[in-house]
Amino acid sequence: MSTTNLRVNIGPPRLKVAVHVLIRLAKSECLMTSSSIASLIKAHSVVVRRVMQALTSAGIVESKLGRDGGYFLRKPADEITLGEVYSAINNFFVEQEVELALGKMDENLFSELEKILCEVEKETINILRQYTITQVMNRTELILA
């Protein structure tokens, strides 16, 4: 199977957007607005703004307000792990979306499924903590050059 056709759906969909945003911020030597980031990564500006809000809330990025404002990394890219990014994105959006997804699910089923998914998520985060934004950036250098 070609890697160009490979689509993995582990984690929140915005995780891939967040990683792409962080790589662009790491490569940038100046502040970047959400609209310039959206244009670079070919994503909708509303999605980028929401991702930036989550990353800002988690202390991964910081924003400067005003005419010359924008976003920048709060710490070096080699200190930001994918596990940290996953947690930031997931924790920010899960509360907003969980009510929509639940509907009328049986409580026992929900409880047991939640236990299993919690276990899976812990393992996922542990694996993601082994990778930094710099490592991902280095692995994709040719694509983003």
The Cα 132–Cα 77 span in angstroms is: 7
The Cα 46–Cα 17 span in angstroms is: 12
CA-derived radius of gyration, the chain: 17
The interaxial angle of helices 14-27 and 45-57, nearest 10 deg, is: 80
Q: What's the rounded mean pLDDT across residues 39-52? A: 92
Token pair of 118 as six digits:
């919690």
> What domains sit in the chain, N to C, each tagged with a CATH number?
3-144 (1.10.10.10)
Query: What are the pLDDT digits (tens) for 32-42?
Result: 999 999 999 99
Token pair of 67 as six digits:
């005419």
Q: Which residues contact 53 (CB under 8 A, 6 or more apart)?
A: 92
Q: What's the rounded mean pLDDT across residues 67-79? A: 94
The Cα 4–Cα 89 span in angstroms is: 25
Query: What are the pLDDT digits (tens) for 88-131?
Result: 998 876 555 555 555 566 778 878 888 998 899 899 999 999 99
Residues across the chain:
145
Query: What are the pLDDT digits (tens) for 3-36?
Result: 555 566 666 778 999 999 999 999 997 899 999 9
* Average pLDDT across the chain, whole number: 85
Q: What pLDDT does residue 100 have?
A: 52
Q: What pLDDT does residue 1 have?
A: 45
Q: Which residues contact 109 (CB under 8 A, 6 or more apart)?
A: none
Cβ count within 10 A of residue 101: 8
